[in-house]
Structure 1
Amino acid sequence: MTTPRRAQQRTEEGGVAFVGAGPGDPGLLTLRAVEVLGGADVVVIDEPAHRAMLAHAPGIIEVVDVSADDEGVTLTAAARGRRLVQAAKGGRRVVRLLSGDPFTHATGADEALACAKAGIPFELVAGVATATSVAAHAGIPLVTGRRRSVEILDVGGKVDLRSCAADTILLTGVTEQLGYVAEALVEAGRVPSTPVAVVTSGSTVEQHTVVSTLGSVAADTRAAKVAGPFVVVVGDTIEHRDTLSWFETKALFGWRVLVPRTKEQAGVLSAALRRSGAVPEEVPTISVEPPRNPQQIDKAVRGMVEGRYEWIAFTSVNALRAVKEKLTAYGLDARALSGLKVAAVGEKTAEALRAWGIEPDLVPSGEQSAIGLLADWPPYDEVLDPINRVFLPRADIATETLAAGLAEMGWEVDDVTAYRTVRAAPPPAETRDAIKTGKFDAVAFTSSSTVRNLVGIAGKPHASTVVACIGPQTAKTAEEHGLRVDVLAPEPTIEALADALAQFGMARRQALVEAGEPVLKPSQRRRASARRKSAQ
C-alpha cells in the first residue's frame, strides 16, 4: 500500500468500479476506464503493469496492491474481496484494475460477489480481452476462410485438452506446463507439425513471439529464453503472421533507447519513441534550478508588470516556467503580460504559452531557433515602438546569439538568467555499464548539454549505439566527444527527432531483410559480432 498523496472529502456515494485493464498496454484502456480512473479515491491493483495506468488518475489518494500479503504469499479471491470491501468503506470511490476483462479475470467475479454481499455499489467497465488482443498484436488472425471455429481456454485450472476440436485453439495462463500442453494436444489427435505461436508480454514493447510446431515448441521456447506466462495460439491461421505482423515490425520495436533529458521534459520524447515500438529509458542528465542570485529576475519581472518592456522573448519552456513561478509568487497570472508583445523561439514554447492563455505575437516562420527568431524579428522603430526594451529570460548557459542580434537591430535587451541547468547525479552502476558496453540500441540527444552531461556522469555510449541528435549544434558537440552521429533531425523538435530515428530504424530493418540477414537490434548485432571474434 502506498502512502496517501492527498486527502479528499466525498459527500456523494462511493462504490467500486471493476475496470478491465486489457493485456497491459495503457493505450488499450477504454474511454470509460479513463473516466472512472480520473475520479478515483483508491485504485486497487494486482499487476506491476497497472502502475503505468495510474497516470490517468490524478486524484487518487491511495494505491492498494492485492497481489500478495506482507509475506509474499498470493492472496486468495476471498482475501482480495475483503480488502476491496474495506477500501470502499466511508463512501470512497474505488477503481479495481483487472487484467483483460473483469469477468474473465480469475478473481474478478468473486470480488464483485464480495461487494454485493457487503452492500457496496459496483459497476463493471468492460476491457479488451487479453487472449484475443495478444493474438492481434502478434499478427495472428483467429478466424480465416473456412477456419471459423475458435476455442479459448485458461490452462491455469484443470482443462481436458482432449475435447479441443476447434480449428484454432487459444490458451492463456500457460507457464511451465507448455511442454505438457503440446504433448496433450498431440495425444488428442493434432499432428506434431501443427503450427504454434507462443507470445509473452503481449501488446507491450517487450512482446516476443516464438513460432514453432507442437513437436518442437517446448524446446524452441527454452532456446529463446523467454519466460511466461504465455498466450499460446495453435492452428493453421498462424501461417498469415509473416504478412499480418504489424506490431513487432514497427521501426524501433524492442529497441532500448536512452533518453538523457530533464525529468520534466523526458515524457514527450519517450511517448513518441513508444509509438514506434521502442523501450525508452530516461536518465536525467541535467536538473533545472533557480538562479544563484534571484534579484536580477525579480527586478525584471517587476519591470515587466510596470510596463518597462515592449517585448518579452521566451527561448524555452523552462524560461516560461521560471517567469510564471515568479508571477505566481507575487499573486499574479497571465494577465500580467497584458500590453506586452510576446515571442516564442519555437512551437513547443508557443504551445506552452497558449496553454497558459497567451497567443504569441511572434514565432519563427523558418528555423525554430534563436537565429530563426531573429530572422523574423522587426527592427526597433522610434515611431512605431513606444518602448525600446526587450526582456529576455533564459538559461545560464544559453548563447548570446539572440541578445546580440536584437541589440544590432536597435533594441535594448535585459538579458536575464531565469534558471540554471546543472549536471544531475550519476545513474545507477547498471545503467552506466549498459551505456558503455552497448546494451542500449540508441541514444537520443536533445541538446549539447545532454551530450556533455551524459558523458560526464555516465561515460561515452558504445560505438554500436545509434546516436540521434536534435540539431546541428548538438551533433557537433556529440562529434567533439568522439561520437558518430547516425541520425540528425530535419528540424529541432522532439517529434522530428523521434521520427528521424524511426525512419533510420525502418531503413535499417528493410536493408537487413533485403540482404537475407536476421533482423537484429544494434545491441544484438554487437553481441553476435563479439561472439564471432571470440570464436576465431
Structure 2
Amino acid sequence: MLIAITRLPEKAGRDAALCAEFGHECYTVSPLRAELIEDAIARFVAEANQGAFDCIFFTSALPAEVIAPKLSLPDGVRSVAIGPQTARTLARHGIEAETLPSFYSADFAPYLGEWLAGRRVGIPRAAVPNPGLLEAIRSAGGEACEYPSYHLVPSGEALDTGRADAVLFTSASSFREARWTRRPGQVVAAIGRVTAAAMEEIPPDVVGDGSLAGTLAALNRWTEEESTHA
C-alpha cells in the first residue's frame, strides 16, 4: 500500500524505512506545523544541565531532536522516551533512554511507580494541556515541571491524500485539524486508542498500539482478514 502519514515533517524520521519493512510505501502529509518556543527551550536546557531534574520525559521526537544535542546531563538522571522513534532520536544524540512499554503518556507514572516519590520530572513538550499526566506524577509523590517547547499550528492546507491507499493519523490533533476527503475504498488508520477515540466522524478501520510499527502490523493483519472474507 501507499500510505499517507500525518506527521510534522521534523518527526517523519524512519517512517519510510519502517513502512518498507512491512511491505508498504509512505509519504508525509502535515495538517499541523511546529513553532518552537525558544525561550522555554533555552530555560529547560539550562536547568536540566544544572541538575534540576531527576528524570526527563520526552513525549515526542520533536523536542528530543531539538533539545538532546544541547544537553549535558549529570550522572543519574533518567531519560524516558514515549516510544521507539523518540528513543532512537535521543540515541543519535548520545542519550540512552528507557521506552514506555505501551507508548502512551498516561503510562508514564505507572511505569516509574514508587520511584517518582520525591523526584522532579522535566517535561519538554508541545503547548497542549495534559493535566492527566501532571496529576498522575503529583499523585505518585513527584513534582512535574512542564516546559511548553513548541506550538502546534494548523497548516490550513488541503492534504494530498487522494492518491494514498491508506491514511494513517498519528494524533488526535492531526485528525481534528486535517482538511481531506476520504475516497471510496481508502483505508483509515489510527496510531492508537487515543487517536481513535477522536475519530468518531470517520471511525478507523485499523487501530494500532501507539507506535508506527504496531499500526503497520495491525494494518497487515486487517488486510489479510479482508482478503480472506472477500
The normalised TM-score by structure 2 is: 0.85
Matches within 5 A, 1:280-429: 280-291=26-37, 294-324=38-68, 327=70, 334-360=71-97, 362-364=98-100, 366-379=101-114, 388-427=119-158
Determine which of 204, 208, 228 is the counterpart of 1:485: 204
Alpha-carbon offset, residue 276 of structure 1: 4.5
User: Using the alignment, how far apart are the partners of 1:376 and 1:276 within structure 2?
Assistant: 29
Question: Counterparts in 2 of 1:80-91, with a 5 A limit?
Answer: none
Q: CA deviation at 1:267?
A: 5.1
RMSD (CA atoms): 2.6
1:8-47 CA-to-partner distances (Å, cap 9, x unmatched) read xxxxxxxxxxxxxxxxxxxxxxxxxxxxxxxxxxxxxxxx
Residue pair 1:463, 1:483 contacting (<8 A) in 2 also: no
How far the C-alpha of 1:277 sits from its partner, in A, is 4.4
Taking the aligned partners of 1:337 and 1:461, their CA distance within structure 2 comes to 49
Question: Alignment partner of 1:501: what SS?
Answer: helix
Provide closer, same or farther for how the CA distance between residues 298 and 275 of structure 1 changes in structure 2, counting only shifts above 3 A: closer
Higher relative contact order (CA 8 A, sep 6+): 2
| CA distance, structure 2, for counterparts of residue 352 and residue 281 of structure 1 | 20
Identity of aligned residues (%): 23
Aligned with 2:15 (options 252, 269, 273): 269
Distance 2:74 2:184 in 1: 48
- Report if aligned partners of 2:116, 2:142 keep a CA contact under 8 Å in 1: no
Do the aligned residues in 2 keep the contact of 1:379 with 1:411 (CA within 8 Å)? no
CA distance in 1, matches of 2:116, 2:214: 36
Distance (Å, rounded) in 2 between the aligned partners of 1:441 and 1:337: 47
TM-aligned CA distance change 1:312 to 1:284, over 3 Å: same
Give the AA of the match of 2:120: R
Q: 1:461/1:344 Cα in 2 relative to 1: closer, same or farther (>3 Å)?
A: same
Deviations 1:357-390 (A, max 9, x none): 2223x433x42211222112143677xx6xx422
Q: 1:381 and 1:339, CA in 2 relative to 1: closer, same or farther beyond 3 A?
A: closer
Q: Which deviations, in whole Å up to 9, do the C-alpha atoms of 1:259-304 show, x marking residues without a partner?
A: 222223335333333444444343222222202xx43332232222
Q: Which secondary structure state, in structure 1, belongs to the residue aligned with residue 44 of structure 2?
A: helix
Q: Hey, what's the Cα distance between the residues in 2 that align with 1:279 and 1:381?
A: 41
Q: Following the alignment from structure 1 to structure 2, what is the Cα–Cα distance between the partners of residues 418 and 337? A: 22
Correspondent of 2:186 among 462, 465, 480: 465
**How many angstroms does 1:427 deviate by?**
4.2
Q: TM-score, normalised by structure 1?
A: 0.39
User: What's the secondary structure of 1:357's corresponding residue?
Assistant: coil
CA 1:394 to 1:381, structure 2 compared with 1: closer, same or farther past 3 Å? closer
Could you tell me which residue of structure 1 aligns to residue 216 of structure 2? 498
Q: 1:310·1:389 contact (CA, 8 Å) conserved in 2?
A: yes
Q: Does the Cα contact within 8 Å between 2:49 and 2:73 map onto a contact in 1?
A: yes
Gaps of 5+ in 1: 1-254, 328-333, 513-536
C-alpha contact 2:50 2:74 (8 A) present in aligned 1: no
Structure 2, gaps ≥5 residues long: none
| SS of 2:147 mapped into structure 1 | strand
Name the CA shift for 1:414/1:504 in 2 (closer, same or farther; >3 Å): same
Secondary structure of the residue aligned to 1:379 is helix
Alpha-carbon distance change, 282 to 401 in structure 1, aligned in 2, over 3 angstroms:
same
Task: State the structure with more CA Rg.
Answer: 1
Question: SS in structure 2 opposite 1:473?
Answer: helix
* Aligned position for 1:175: none
State the Cα distance separating 1:394 from its structure 2 match: 0.8
Higher strand share: 2
Within 5 Å, give how 1:3-22 maps onto structure 2.
Answer: none
**Structure-to-structure mapping, 1:222-301, within 5 angstroms:** 255-266=1-12, 268-291=14-37, 294-301=38-45
The AA in structure 2 aligned to 1:453 is: E
SS at match of 2:99: coil
